[in-house]
Amino acid sequence: MKKCIFLLLTLTVVTLNNTVAQQKVTRLSDVVYDHRDGMAFVFDVIRPAKQNGAAILYILSGGWVSRDAAGISTNSYRSYTDKGYTVFIISHGSQPRYNIPEIFSQVQRAIKFIRYNAGKYGIDPEKLGVMGHSAGGHLSVSSAVFGKDAMTEEEYRKEHNVPKEDKVDSINLVSSKIRAVACFYPPTDFIQYTSADSNWFDFPKVRNVSANGSFIATPDSARDFQSRILKSISPYYFITPQTPPVLVIHGTNDGLVPYSQSVSLITELKAHNVPCMLISKQGKDHGWPYEQTDEDACLSWFDKYLLN
């Protein structure tokens, strides 16, 4: 009997120790990935003790306004770190100080920086997944379609008109492509925002963003100019067969980003034979209380396309 009790206690201790080891992480805050206009752009790194080699890049954005990554709880990503994922919480420059194309470039710079320093963070540079909510979802899908291959210094100088006497940052030569996306209620087509003949600027609820120049065009701009600008920042129009897999979770009663946005996105992804999935949250508006099933879906998606 004593032997059985001892064995049971031993197994309990081992189980508890394994649980503690599995949940143990280290966090590094305010890693500078770029400097612009005298300001530093940063991310936080949450690194599990036992890494699986893959990384999740969470784009911290709502209305294209970012905030301090250090203020986000480490426990918020425990489901990911428990499975060995290293998590990067990325802060970007916010509108209206920066417009949407400039924010695109900041996110791409973060991806390049992380890939360039992959060995330092214990990750595989080819196993990067991106996720975000709302504007963060838009930036996530944009990362998938606008990501670029690595380039030579000569190619970079030519594309960006960099004089020979100026030094080129080697990080900028790195690829900004990612492997998979899992995101929530992303706007992806600003030309046909609520319907075929109604664009982003026609939607009353976004007037506070539209009028400040964040979209370059404004509600008072000529329609042709609006269409040109809005198309350039709409990932929907730039999907190709090479676009990485995309998972979208969206509420059917979303009053800010129409559910039809994700339906159209998934239809276009399928037309290009891109692996994709839409999880419809019946009756949900723009955001809802935490549900484990959502996190499980994202984890399964990343497991499939980053680990296998």
d(CA 9, CA 32): 47
Quickly count: other Cβ atoms within 10 Å of residue 304's Cβ: 13
**pLDDT on residue 1:** 41
How far apart CA 92 and CA 70 sit, in angstroms, is 13
Task: Please tell me what DSSP assigns to residue 220.
Answer: T
- Stated length of the chain: 308
d(CA 69, CA 226): 33
What confidence score (pLDDT) does residue 263 get? 98
Would you state the pLDDT for residue 207? 73
| C-alpha to C-alpha distance for 159 and 174, rounded to whole angstroms | 14
Output the pLDDT for position 3: 41
Question: Phi then psi for 200, rounded to 5 degrees?
Answer: -55, -40
Report residue 107 as tokens: 């996110």
24-189+234-307 is classed CATH 3.10.290.20: no
Task: Break the chain into its structural domains and give their ranges.
Answer: 24-189+234-307
Q: What is the pLDDT of residue 308?
A: 83
State the pTM of this model: 0.91
Rounded to 10 degrees, the C-alpha dihedral 286/290/291/297 comes to: 70
Question: Would you say the C-alpha torsion 196, 198, 204, 206 has a positive or negative sign?
Answer: positive
Q: What is the pLDDT along the chain (308 residues), one digit of tens a residue?
A: 444 433 333 333 333 344 434 569 999 999 999 999 999 999 999 999 999 999 999 999 999 999 999 889 999 999 999 999 999 999 999 999 999 999 999 999 999 999 999 999 999 999 999 999 999 999 999 999 999 999 999 999 999 999 989 999 999 999 999 999 999 999 999 999 999 999 999 998 887 788 788 999 999 999 999 999 999 999 999 999 999 999 999 999 999 999 999 999 999 999 999 999 999 999 999 999 999 999 999 999 999 999 98
Nearest Cα residue to 185 out of 46, 40, 284, 291: 284
User: Tokens representing 283?
Assistant: 């009756």
